[in-house]
Structure 1
Amino acid sequence: MLRAWEVYQATVGPDKLTYYTGMEGYPSRLNDWARSDIKDRLLNADGCLLELWEHDDQLGGHRVEYRGRMLDQPQYTHEPEAVSGVAFWLPTEYLEEQGPARVKELALALARELPFNTGYVSPAFNGLMDMQMVRPLIHDLCFRYPGLDIFDSEVTRRLGTRPKGSYWLNFYGPPLLNELSGVTGLRERLPGLSVQEFAPDKVLVELGEWPEVDGDMPAYRQLARVLEPHLYQETQPPLPPRTCAAGSVASSTESP
């Protein structure tokens, strides 16, 4: 995780992450002492929660979120499917200005550093998703733009080794890769799609040069059919019923 963070920061620039969550849970400036504190927590703790972000007065921008499963903690006896998870965020402008090849290059660099069962790269709704006024506003948009992910870091408490969905860039490692018939089996089951083994037991399935967010999305459907027996299924709907939407808070929507 430490090496992946260093790769991300070296790629986007040292000034793109300026705040982090300190040990007490309060936002703090990311200075030399804070970087040393983060490294110590990553190297010596048996798991930790960590957030780093760019802006203190707006959503969006660059962000890193890490939920490290705390080993040997008693609460995990009740959450056997809990796993560690990390999310690296880029603003939409990065994709538009740098192009998809640059985003893919960064994703591959991160994936080489991290052990993983599954991972993905996708455009996503970016907002305060835990606020009741926000989720109803996204309800209609998520059906209009099915290629936009609804990100929820809490899913790591239930995800296990299952994939969460079909996305633009899809990363698979063991044991999921074996369940999907390995590299050779994936290529046979996904004709016309790019299946790349970029490291031992690490595969990237790429669904086109650019991510898609709307339309028929045939490549996404093709992969979803292969993944269906293995997919993670939410036990509760991620969004409230449409009748909860209120026009009075329409101005609160966030751009993806």
Structure 2
Amino acid sequence: AYTIGATHGYIYCRAEYPLALERLNIALAKMKEYGLLGESILGSGFNFDIEIKEGAGAFVCGEETALMASIEGKRGMPRPRPPFPAQSGIWGKPTNINNVETLAAVAAILQKSADWYAQYGTEGSKGTKTFALAGKIKRTGLIEVPLGITLREIVYDIGGGIADDKQFRAVQTGGPSGGCLPAEFLDLPVDYEALTQAGSIMGSGGMIVADEDTCIVDFAKFFLTFVQAESCGKCAPCRVGTRQMLDILERITRGEGQDG
């Protein structure tokens, strides 16, 4: 904020995450108590404050222009670019908008250097990545790993293996619009290039493990139902395509599947 001359910041958090909101409010109160927010921070003459904006849970607000519209009190809908946020963002003012994971990495890089950060990861994907590890696994939670680590290491070494010692079936990466990777991909290095080549995405770091009892059709239908409901409706491939895809999966689950 000091570097770019910003005077006001927003933390955007879904209202459905009350624990996160509680912790954020405590952290901001402590920062103000220590003189790290507000007027003339640490006697420097620099003013900066942070406001928490509670989102209503719309998936599309993960897109930066929709998120900015939501902060302004409007419906969270994407808009064309340019103008880019750095030119005209919130309230028409130049805006620097980043995922919290990026800001956390920047802080470490400024403290320890870019070379330090680049020692982790792969040639094409430097650094670390945080994942929300969930599903049929013994140890769930938020993890941070070097890019290039294998899915097997994440599932078995960090996650402790499949719950109830059942067999691994697949892992879904990249959030609701990501892809499912079956057992033959367990030794895949987790980086941007490898995941794309395997037919999935990194996305925001969702990682959901499925066991031998998971029906992959139902698994896919669950995520597609969410994506279809959350479509902003602006483009036909998403608005119409997700409905058609969901219809196909619903027919299959009713036993009415047809050969392609």
TM-score above 0.5, yes or no: no
Return the index of the structure with the highest Cα Rg.
2
For normalisation by structure 1, the TM-score amounts to 0.26
